[in-house]
Structure 1
Amino acid sequence: MSEDSRRPRARAVVLLLLVALLALLAPGCRVVESEGPQDVPPPTTATRHKHAKPSGRRPGVVNIETEQTLNGTRAAGTGIVLTASGLVLTNNHVIQGATAIKGTDVDDRRGYRAEVVGYDRTGDIAVIRLSGATRLRTAAFASAGGVAVGDPVTAVGNAGGKGGTPTVVTGKVTALEQSVTARDDSNGTSERLTGLIETNAPIRPGDSGGPLLDTSGKVIGINTAASTGFSVKGAERRGDHRGYAIPSDRALEIARQIQRGEASSTVHIGRTAMLGVKVRPNGRSPGALVAELVPGSPAEAAGVPVGGVIVAFGDTAVDAPSTLTDLMLARHPGDAVRIEWTTSRGDRMAGTVHLAEGPPQ
């Protein structure tokens, strides 16, 4: 049992990330200049309103639509305007795998092409920039440190990926410091999230990246996942909605790091490098088994075969697909990297690849 699962206020659940899958289609970013960290609005101290009503405000909200040409899908989510010049905070899973991103500011109805500034896969936070945006209305943030169980809250977002005026739903904070395992049905991936705010506000797919507001209309959390049924002490409770939000303080801390251009083991800055393989675990043996090659990719050009197993990337051994992903995130398009793989007959091969540009991970 993990330390998080032993915490008295934490409840482990499996639930869905809130990205809205818009369509299933036939299979078929440059590094930006960083603004100063002072451009990201600091949180203010939350004010307690014991009998206050939830806020109906919709501050600085952006509808986000993405195309994922490698997967043949489109998806939608929500973002929160950080700066008047177009920096937008959202969930990483909203832009994960995107080959094109569009953001529509719901205040002026203008649509913008967007590019990824940076993202944190483990924290599920990303910052994008709306190209050419000016004079956007920004959201106001409050510290989540003052949030308590029973506080009224409002969740705002692009529910169902329909676009247009954001959906506004209300509820209360039902728990704090929650731990969940969230699954993204659009690509089958899952992630472990901790320290979340739990609410019974009925947030839906498409609300990911949208604000959870206090009674004064300030952002105290970033909506990230929800479930309509979950397991508590072995008993299934159906129809009991639970939504989860990343506290505003943590989200803004990551956003500031991205804005400063500070990469780390979890934060990637700028464009994403692509090797061009889809991999899966190699049974009980170490390595990343190549299940599919992207046509015209660096891996294909180097002669990596489907069914081969990548066992080294640069100077580091690859013992699992997740290791290869982590190593790739430290690279950028154009980097030359030596890789090693074994064939289905057991032959060990090696080659140097020049990484291409791919979608954010």
Structure 2
Amino acid sequence: MPEPHFAYGVAVAPGSAPVTAVPATAIPATAVPAGDGADWYGPERWGGWEGPVPPPRPPHWHRPPEWDEPPARPARRLLRWIIGIAAITGLALLVAAAGLAAIVGSRNPAPRASATAQANAAAPVPPGGILGESAEASTEASPTPTRALSTQEIVATVNKSVVNITSTLGLRNTRVAGTGVVVGNGGLVITNNHVIAGATAISGVAVANGRTFQASVVGYDRSHDIALIQLAGASNLPRLGVADSSQVKAGDPIVAVGNAGGQGGTPEAVTGSVTALNRSINAQDPDGGGSRRLDGLIEVAADIKAGDSGGPLVDRAGRLIGINTAASIDPRDQSPAGQGFAVPSNTALGIAGRIQSGKASSTIHIGPTALLGVAASDAGGRTQGAEVTGVVSGSPADRAGLENGDVLRSVDGQEIASAADLTSAIDLHHPGDEVRIAWVDRSGRTRSATVRLATGPAG
């Protein structure tokens, strides 16, 4: 039976056969130093590796409004008055001409737009839709096709806005490949959080020009599996047009594009249709970590593959309606099983817009990731909390005296009932923050310490 997976994990969709998340494709990383086998993330500086992922650029400032311009000089007022009179006279003549044209038009009505042209009308861009360096860019509408586009035309257009992403997971001695979509000026790219989670370095190849760029994480939202990254030094990359995903309905034809198999080069595309809306799945990390629920997804019938994670799901006009996040995988041979899931474009770009604006929340993290320096699993038996299963040597946790088998109970007064709670609590902080942690050691004694959080891998 097909098994649904979350894009870089394992997911189960209620009421269907198990589905396997679309894993970001693993790539051998011979240049990455081997770790000690512990299944946790840690800062890449420890162990003599390269420095941390560079911090993101601050949000762009809008251009000043027109009324901030200096007033006109008095010497020009007479000239402007004369021009104004001429403009009014011209406007009157134009209105008269328009009236005459309306009369003629009423006698010879123009033919109505075709059903195809009406269906391809550009939908309103959602709040935070297309990200740009000015207020004008954030409300830019997608081009309106005058006819139905072929799959080849859609793919040729969409590919120009695709980025093939490679994340180096330093402590895991591997790399993973996924996909991103250019959505803003200056190389802003949206992708899945799981594509960059645990990365100690990120690079992206813009399909539009074949150039490779180093990338930094602007921010992410684990709960919706969305991340916004910045390609350093990128400019003039084509942005993908956006549709209003609230108008998507079952039966709509779609095209999914991505870095299938992590092979790089020209992205691959598959066609299909929307089969359901507002779907929920429980996604589990591929390394056996905790699961995470994703809600409100678009379900499609399409052979989305490993490596497509973070890629664009588009309508038949080539406009973005979702970010590919999960797909069904046949457990017998790990081949695509014809079922996929995508985060709707309204949701994904709304989150990206808040990230770019620097608006952190209980789920949205802005900037570099803070690190305590432990691996943890849900505690069982004697006490509730996050049980330590690994400690990074020299990390804040190590200096505080945490050891394997200890159970973390609170961070800055926030109760920790699970490993996921610990992740969420640390996500509210940034490198350099001081936090008070409390735990129960292996002997059953309650202990506490104040630690200064370090800089850890992304996402």
**TM-score bracket, shorter-length normalisation:** 0.7 to 0.9
- Percent of aligned pairs sharing the same letter: 44
1:220 corresponds to which letter in structure 2? Answer: I
Query: Of the candidates 248, 251, 254, which is equivalent to residue 348 of structure 2?
Result: 251
The reply to whether residue 214 of structure 1 matches residue 311 of structure 2 is no
The reply to whether residue 334 of structure 1 matches residue 339 of structure 2 is no
1:146 shift after superposition: 2.2
CA contact under 8 A between 1:18 and 1:224: conserved in structure 2? no
Provide the aligned length of Structure 1 versus Structure 2: 346
Change (3 A) 1:123 1:353: same
Change (3 A) 1:259 1:11: farther
Partner of 2:7: none
Query: Of the candidates 348, 361, 370, which is equivalent to residue 273 of structure 1?
Result: 370
- Paired with 2:237 and 2:458, the residues of 1 have a C-alpha distance of 25
Normalized per residue, the structure richer in helix is: 2
The reply to whether residue 56 of structure 1 matches residue 155 of structure 2 is yes
The reply to whether residue 343 of structure 1 matches residue 441 of structure 2 is yes
SS in 2 for 1:70: helix
1:18 shift after superposition: 3.4
CA contact under 8 A between 1:21 and 1:186: conserved in structure 2? no
TM-score (norm 1): 0.88
Matches within 5 A, 1:1-361: 11=15, 13-23=18-28, 26-28=34-36, 29-35=54-60, 39=132, 41-42=138-139, 44=141, 53-54=150-151, 55-57=154-156, 58-186=159-287, 188-228=289-329, 240-284=337-381, 285-361=383-459
SS in 1 for 2:171: coil
- Paired with 1:229 and 1:185, the residues of 2 have a C-alpha distance of 16
CA contact under 8 A between 2:328 and 2:339: conserved in structure 1? yes
- Paired with 1:53 and 1:335, the residues of 2 have a C-alpha distance of 53
Change (3 A) 1:346 1:24: farther
- Paired with 2:258 and 2:212, the residues of 1 have a C-alpha distance of 16
Q: Which moved more, 1:188-197 or 1:203-212?
A: 188-197
Partner of 1:5: none
1:135 shift after superposition: 1.4
Deviations 1:46-88 (A, max 9, x none): 9899986543232410000001112222111000001231100
- Paired with 1:255 and 1:350, the residues of 2 have a C-alpha distance of 37
Q: Which moved more, 1:121-130 or 1:132-141?
A: 132-141
SS in 2 for 1:56: helix
Gaps of 5+ in 1: 1-8, 231-237
- Paired with 1:135 and 1:47, the residues of 2 have a C-alpha distance of 21
1:271 corresponds to which letter in structure 2? Answer: P
2:24 corresponds to which letter in structure 1? Answer: V
1:190 corresponds to which letter in structure 2? Answer: S
Structure whose alpha-carbon radius of gyration is higher: 2
TM-score (norm 2): 0.70
Gaps of 5+ in 2: 1-12, 37-53, 62-127
1:33 corresponds to which letter in structure 2? Answer: P
- Paired with 2:398 and 2:336, the residues of 1 have a C-alpha distance of 48
Change (3 A) 1:43 1:208: farther
SS in 1 for 2:209: coil
Normalized per residue, the structure richer in strand is: 1
- Paired with 1:140 and 1:68, the residues of 2 have a C-alpha distance of 32
Change (3 A) 1:167 1:45: closer
CA contact under 8 A between 1:43 and 1:143: conserved in structure 2? no
- Paired with 2:21 and 2:247, the residues of 1 have a C-alpha distance of 27
1:239 shift after superposition: 7.4
1:337 corresponds to which letter in structure 2? Answer: V
Deviations 1:280-339 (A, max 9, x none): 111042121111011221111111112211122222232222221111011110111122
1:126 shift after superposition: 0.5
